[in-house]
Amino acid sequence: MTIARVHTGRMVASIALFAVVGAVSPIFTSAQSPSPAVTPASQSTTAQRSAAKSTALPSTPTFAVASIRPNNSDHTARTHIYSYADHGHFVAINATPMQLLQYAYVLPDSRILGAPAWAKSSKYDIEGKSDTGLAEQLAALPYSGAKTQLLTMVRSLLADRFRLAAHFENRDLPVYNLVITRKGPKFSPVEETSKHIDTTGRAGSVTIDITSSSHAMADLAEILYRYTGRIVVDKTGLQGNYTINLKFAPDDARLALPSTETSSAPDTGPSVFTAVKEQLGLELKSGKGSIEILVIDHIDPPTEN
C-alpha cells in the first residue's frame, strides 16, 4: 500500500490511501448542481468579507463548475488531493471514487460498504471550483467551517456526476479491539514533526511506519484492518504524538511457505497479532461492536464532460 498526500491551503497531511505527483492540467468543465443523495445517521477585501458574513450560505453549497476525466497513466502511482477550502477549490489527481468517498465523508474504507470493484480501481483527475460569491463567503468563515462546506460540495459532486446514493446505518460487526498489554506500550511520545505514513510489502513481509502522528493509534487501527479482515477499534486511550514501526508477515505469505522442517525458505516474520504484541506492547482482542458505516446503494462511473 502506498500513501496519499492530502494538501490543504494551510497544511499538508498524509493519510493511508493510494496516490500521483503532478500538476493539474486544464480539463473539461461542466455545471454542478444536485445535492448528495445520502440519508443522515480568491482573497476578498475586508469590505467583501463583511458582506459575505451577512449573506447566508446556501443550504447545500455546490461547485459552480466541476471537471472529471479518467486517469489512465499509472495506476500504481500516488493520489494527491488538494483542498483549498477557504477558496472553494478542490483538486484530486489519480483518485478512485472510493478515495473520494473516504475524503468527503471522513471515513476509513473499512466503514464504507457496498462499493463495486471498479470504484476501488478506476482512477480520475477531478477539479471543482466555486463561484466568486461563494468563495468570498467561504473566505469569511473560520477554516474549519469552510472545510465542512467544501466536504459537502464534494458529496454533491459525487451525487451529481457519479449518481451516488448511500445511507448511514449502525451494524453489529465482528471487530478487533486494540488495547494495551499489562506491561504497557513499547513506544513513547515524540516531538511533533512532519507526519508521514508508509506501508510497504516485499518478499512476504509487511512494514508499517507511522511517523509523528497525533492520531497514531487510529492510523494504526485503520491499516491493521487490511491485514486482519475486521474493523479494528482503538481502545488504547493513548493521547499524544507517536512514531510507530511494525513488521510482520501477512497470513497469505505465511501460508505460502513450504511446511517441511528442512525448507530453506526465509523467515518472513511473526503474524500481525504476534507482532503487535511483541513489538508495540499492544494487543488485538476479538469482540463485537456497533459500528456506524456508510452503505453504498448506488454509484455509476462518472458522466463525461
Which of 176, 158, 144 has the alpha carbon at shortest distance from 63?
Answer: 158
Q: Which of 75-89, 108-122, 272-286 has the lowest mean pLDDT?
A: 75-89
For residue 304, the model assigns a pLDDT of 66
User: Distances from the Cα of 268 to the Cαs of 19, 202, 224, 246, in angstroms?
Assistant: 27, 10, 18, 13
Distance of CA 199 to the CA centre of its chain: 14
pLDDT in tens, 112-152: 999 999 999 999 999 999 999 888 988 998 888 889 999 99
| Rounded Cα gap, residues 53 and 42, in angstroms | 16
Residue 99, pLDDT > 90, answer: yes
Residues contacting residue 221 through CB under 8 Å, at least 6 positions apart: 178, 232, 233, 234
Residue 46 three-state SS:
helix
Dihedral (CA of 194, 6, 137, 129) sign: positive
For residue 124, the model assigns a pLDDT of 95
Residue 154, pLDDT > 70, answer: yes
Q: Across the chain, what does the average pLDDT equal?
A: 80
Residue 74's pLDDT band (cuts 50, 70, 90): confident
Comparing 78 with 291, the larger pLDDT belongs to: 291
| Rounded Cα gap, residues 235 and 222, in angstroms | 13
Is-contact 164 297, C-beta < 8 A?
no
Whose grid coordinates read 455509476?
300
For residue 290, the model assigns a pLDDT of 93
Residue 265, pLDDT > 70, answer: no
Comparing 241 with 29, the larger pLDDT belongs to: 241
